[in-house]
Structure formats: structure tokens, C-alpha cells
Amino acid sequence: MSTIFSQIVEGEIPARIVYEDETTVAFLDANPLAPGHTLVIPRDEYERLNDVPDDVAAALYDTVHRLVPAVEESVDADATTVAFNNGKAAGQEVPHVHCHIVPRFEGDGGGPIHAIAGDRPDLGDDELDDIAADIESRS
């Protein structure tokens, strides 16, 4: 069963495609959070960022890097929030990696990426040291 985004890649359902190359496709979000809200995806289906091979990840970033100024300029945005919902618990609904480029405007009423947090943890120095060491050892 292919994802709705694969169906867009295959041209089976319509989308407002704004950029495409061999590896990636970008199109307007069907339920935009702001004018110009754009999604960037790899053509091939990978559920999470962790699943994306290195060369595809590099191509994905190249397309994001290319699209951010294009999107900002096209809707005269003051800034953009650029983010992945990476996994169901983070709010990912479509299991096909996609980067959201959401134009932001002074006084638009939105929040920073920090607004995603629920209860913030109260971590001591030892816990922070352990977490940092653990991440470092896996990097």
C-alpha cells in the first residue's frame, strides 16, 4: 500500500508541485498552516528520517535549502519554521518522510518550535551528562 505522497509522486493524485528532481519532490500542503506551506519529500518511501539513506538525506536537505528562500520570497514571509514530525508520537500522520516549510510572519500568532513541548523535564547535571555521553557514543 503506497502512501498518499507516493501517489503524488506517481501522478495518481493531484498536487501543486513546486519543485522536483531525480530524488525529491516539493509541493504545497493541502491544509496549509500559512500561505506557501510546502512539503519536501524523497521520491522513494521511507517512514522516518532514520530510514533515509545518506545520499537521499543529502538530496533532501539540498531541496529544503533551495526551497526555503523561494517560499519565503513568494509569500513575502518574515521567516520560516522548518520541521519534520518524525514518528507517530511526534505527530507524523503520513508515513513518508516530509519536511514542512511553514512561512512565518511577524505577529502571526504562532509559536516557536519550543511550543511543541508538553511537561518539560527537570534534569540535573548528572542526568544531562549521561544523556550527552549516551548520544555521543551512538553518533
Cite the active site residues.
98
Residue written as cell 509569500? 75
Rounded to an integer, what distance in angstroms lies between the CA atom of residue 79 and that of residue 60? 20
Rounded to an integer, what distance in angstroms lies between the CA atom of residue 132 and that of residue 139? 11
CB nearer ligand AMP, residue 90 or residue 128? 90
Rounded to an integer, what distance in angstroms lies between the CA atom of residue 43 and that of residue 22? 8
Site for ligand AMP in 13-42 (CB under 6 A): 13, 15, 29-31, 39
CB nearer ligand AMP, residue 55 or residue 93? 93
Nearest distance in Å: CB 97, ligand AMP: 9
Nearest distance in Å: CB 93, ligand AMP: 4
Cβ proximity of 103 and 37 under 8 Å:
yes
Element (H, E) at 99: strand 99-104
Strand partners for 31:
none
Q: Lay out the site mask for ligand AMP across 82-121 (x = CB under 6 A, - = otherwise).
A: ---x-----xxxx---------------------------
CB nearer ligand AMP, residue 4 or residue 82? 4
Cβ of 102: how many Cβ atoms within 10 Å?
A: 21
Interacting residues toward ligand AMP by CB under 6 A: 4, 13, 15, 29-31, 39, 85, 91-94
